[in-house]
Amino acid sequence: MNETKPWWLSRTLIVNALLLSLAAAESQLQVLQPLMPVNVYALLAFVLPIVNAALRVVTTQPLGRTPAGQ
């Protein structure tokens, strides 16, 4: 049986939470958008699913409610 790891150790969830936080902050602050070319958001929309897929490929443990070994 595979041991589970706590959700807060998931690289996939950490990357997604970080990008979600940055997107939410940018939608309110609008600091970065004037400095970036228009197609940056389209590029991010293309790259994020690729990053998620790559993180899923390297995933070795399922997530669980309790840390491994407890």
**pLDDT for 8-22, tens place per residue?**
889 999 988 998 888
- Does residue 52 form part of some domain? yes
Residue 67: per-residue pLDDT: 54
pLDDT tens profile 26-65: 888 888 778 888 788 778 888 888 999 999 899 888 888 7
- Does residue 22 form part of some domain? yes
d(CA 1, CA 29): 46
Token digits of residue 22: 């940055």
- Does residue 67 form part of some domain? no
- Does residue 30 form part of some domain? yes
Angle at 25 (CA atoms; ends 8, 51), nearest 5 degrees: 50
- Does residue 2 form part of some domain? no
Query: Count of domains in the chain?
Result: 1
pTM, whole model, 2 decimals? 0.68
